[in-house]
Amino acid sequence: EVQLLESGGGLVQPGGSLRLSCAASGFMFSSYAMSWVRQAPGKGLEWVSVITGNGGSTYYEDSVKGRFTISRDNSKNTLYLQMNSLRAEDTAVYHCAKALYCSITSCPRAFDYWGQGTLVTVSS
């Protein structure tokens, strides 16, 4: 059974930093791209970042570029999101999500398993 468990959220002041973790189990972690998707309180889903299975390539939504860094440790089956220079508008539940398998011939670009999320609150 696929499981994704986020941790590391909390209250942080504007300008501060936080590192989120997502512990994965039930699948061959290194074979799948992983993403972070956030949801501000009472709002919709917003894609944040994605990392390839081997960690070699990373991509970001424009508003977090230069502030957030996605990474993974395939030996620990864990995904990370380092968040620096946090702003009030970064307040949200952050979900990690597993991408569908992407091969040379087919790359569905969708997320089939999601964690429950961890709440990040940026406030003074």
Partner 1 sequence: QSALTQPASVSGSPGQSITISCTGTSSDVGSYNLVSWYQQHPGKAPKLMIYEVTKRPSGVSNRFSGSKSGNTASLTISGLQAEDEADYYCCSYAGTSTYVFGTGTKVTVL
The residues of the shown chain that bind partner 1, judged by CB under 8 A, are 35, 37, 44-47, 50, 57, 59, 61-62, 95, 97, 100, 108-112, 114-117
Residue closer to partner 1 by CB (options 26, 108) is 108
State the minimum distance, in angstroms, from the CB of residue 13 to partner 1. Answer: 27
Strand segments, DSSP code E, in the chain are 3-7, 10-12, 18-25, 34-39, 45-51, 58-60, 68-73, 78-83, 92-99, 111-114, 118-122
112: its two tokens: 């089939």
Residue closer to partner 1 by CB (options 16, 61) is 61
Distance from C-alpha of 6 to C-alpha of 65, rounded to nearest angstrom: 21
Question: At 108, which amino acid appears?
Answer: P
Residue closer to partner 1 by CB (options 13, 57) is 57
Q: In angstroms, how far is CA 41 from the centroid of its own chain?
A: 17
State the minimum distance, in angstroms, from the CB of residue 59 to partner 1. Answer: 4
Residue closer to partner 1 by CB (options 72, 95) is 95
State the minimum distance, in angstroms, from the CB of residue 16 to partner 1. Answer: 26
Q: Is the dihedral of CA 94, 117, 71, 19 positive or negative?
A: positive
